[in-house]
Amino acid sequence: MQVSRRVASLPDVRGALVAMATELNLDLAASMGFEVPTGTAPSEMLVGIDAESEDALAAALTELEAALSQAAAPSATGFGSAPAPVTVGAAARRGEATIALISTPGPFAFADAVDAVDAGLHTMVFSDNVPVEQEVALKRRAQETGVLVMGPDCGTAVVGGVGLGFANVVRPGPVGIVAASGTGAQHLMTLLDQAEVGVSHCLGVGGRDLSAEVGGLSTLRALDLLADDEATEVVVVLSKPPAASVAEKVRAHAATLGKPVLFALLGPGQPTVTDVAAEAVWAVGSSWTDPEPGPGPAGAAGRPGGYLRGLFAGGTLCDEAMVLATGRLGPVTSNIPLDGGRRIGDDLASEGHTMIDFGDDRLTQGRPHPMIDGAARVERLLAETDDPDTGVLLLDVVLGLGAADDPAGELAEAVVRATAAGVPVVVSLIGTRDDPQGLDAQRATLERAGAWVHLSNAAATTAALDLLATPEATA
């Protein structure tokens, strides 16, 4: 996906797609206007480039070759022959690996993950769109071998100080995290980092782990691992809104571990991620100060009678915002609605107060995650600005390893246009000072564009709610 963006950004290149030839990517190529080849296999690479001239095409192909060479330089064996393909298990037996990272397309991830589990490897399944039945089968198999399955759709983990997936650069420390959430885990880690408290391990378990179907299988195993870890003093369990029966089971198990366990299980009446970050900081004997927001829009208010519109890259950040907004505004329309909320139509058209998770599996099939490519959110931000029913815009910007090089820069022009049209833009900025994008630089870009920047998602949501201008906005 990053290679596609790199090629598409060249002068006189109208579009580019570099991806595996899966059914979804073939459909995406067709929708982009490319003539789709027949007889391709999912293991083959698909390249489509729409250039305005032969010179532009030649330059794009040169850039493509350079990008692919940087991504993976081939090794040779014997007299230059290609290395023979190996399974995950075979690779594990040849080395000293303890963790496998699976990032193959969802329909193929299960087989590779089973191979890794059977080889005795803790297994992180970054792949999304894996059927829940396969997730349950994989995690039950892991129980038999004593390993941990992180995922599927595990976007973030930190193990022994090494960030995997969309992880932030954080300092080592005494807080262990079990997270059925990617961006929620990132937010918790960044809040701890701002308080100069580090993380021992962050074990992602996949967003469905605390659902009734999965039953917390990986969460329970991760709790046991952190209970036995000498570097971990306090554990935080974080999740999107869980099934009540599973949450109760996890709380009961946590009470037997002999270590303090804090909970950030999003839902009505539950603490926010920021609240639990403060609890964790106090629990390890450090002091907590609420993150300082940037300068707010002086005297600003939302368009009279307008609605709150949230455009998120992170599902848990969207969930948390909806929980807070529902308490003040009533039901919120979304593609990931809370209980009692309205489900948005297939066209994703806003209806009343609306929040969209652009990172939802259904919106990333064959397309870059919005943390990698913000084009879809930019387009929607402009559309919401042109909608007279939009009163206030709420966004998240997530930094870290694997994320876009300059996410704030991608959004800046659209933010300028929104604020010029009288629509306040409130941003929750998730990152640390050591992230490759630079927290201070990203914040400065957003503030120059006119956004009101907060380092707490809960605080950003509250600020956006406060900006809704009139009683009619909450009707």
Q: Which amino acid is at 323?
A: V
Whole-prediction pTM = 0.83
Query: Measured between alpha carbons, how far is 384 from 221 in angstroms, rounded to an integer?
Result: 43
Q: Quickly state the pLDDT bin for 66 (edges 50, 70, 90).
A: confident
Residue found by looking up tokens 């807070």 in the block: 324
pLDDT at res. 290: 95
- What mean pLDDT, rounded, does the chain reach? 90
* Side-chain-facing half-sphere of 358: CA atoms under 13 Å: 24
pLDDT at 297: 72
Question: What residue ranges in 414-465 does DSSP mark as E strands?
Answer: 425-430, 452-454
Strand partners, 427: 395, 453
Q: What is the pLDDT of residues 242-251, one digit of tens each?
A: 999 999 999 9
Confidence band of 202 (pLDDT split at 50, 70, 90) = very high
Task: Give yes or no for residue 15 having a pLDDT over 60.
Answer: yes
Contact criterion met (CB below 8 Å) for 418 and 391: no
pLDDT score of 188: 98
**More confident: 8 or 139:** 139
- pLDDT at res. 33: 81
Strand ranges (E), 187-247:
199-204, 234-239
Given the candidates 3.40.50.261, 3.10.20.600, 3.40.1780.10, 3.40.640.10, the CATH classification of the domain at 307-474 is 3.40.50.261
Average pLDDT over residues 303-329: 96
Q: 177, 185 in Cβ contact below 8 A?
A: yes
Which pLDDT score is estimated for 74?
Answer: 47
The crossing angle, in degrees rounded to 10, of helices 407-420 and 439-448 is 20
> Taking 60 as the threshold, does the pLDDT of residue 161 lie above it?
yes
Predicted confidence (pLDDT) per residue in 360-408, tens digit: 988 877 778 899 999 999 999 999 999 999 999 999 999 999 999 999 9
Domain boundaries defined on the chain: 2-71, 92-283, 307-474
Under 8 Å between Cβ of 16 and 23 = no
Q: Locate 472 and state its tokens.
A: 């009619």
Please report which confidence band the pLDDT of residue 298 belongs to, taking 50, 70 and 90 as the band edges: low
173-199 per-position pLDDT tens digit = 999 999 999 999 999 999 999 999 999
Max mean pLDDT among 141-145, 266-270, 454-458 falls in: 454-458
Topology (CATH level 3) of domain 92-283: Rossmann fold (3.40.50)
Q: What are phi and psi of 191, to 5 degrees?
A: -65, -40
Q: Do domains 92-283 and 307-474 have the same CATH topology?
A: yes
- The CA distance from 32 to 24, in Å, is 12
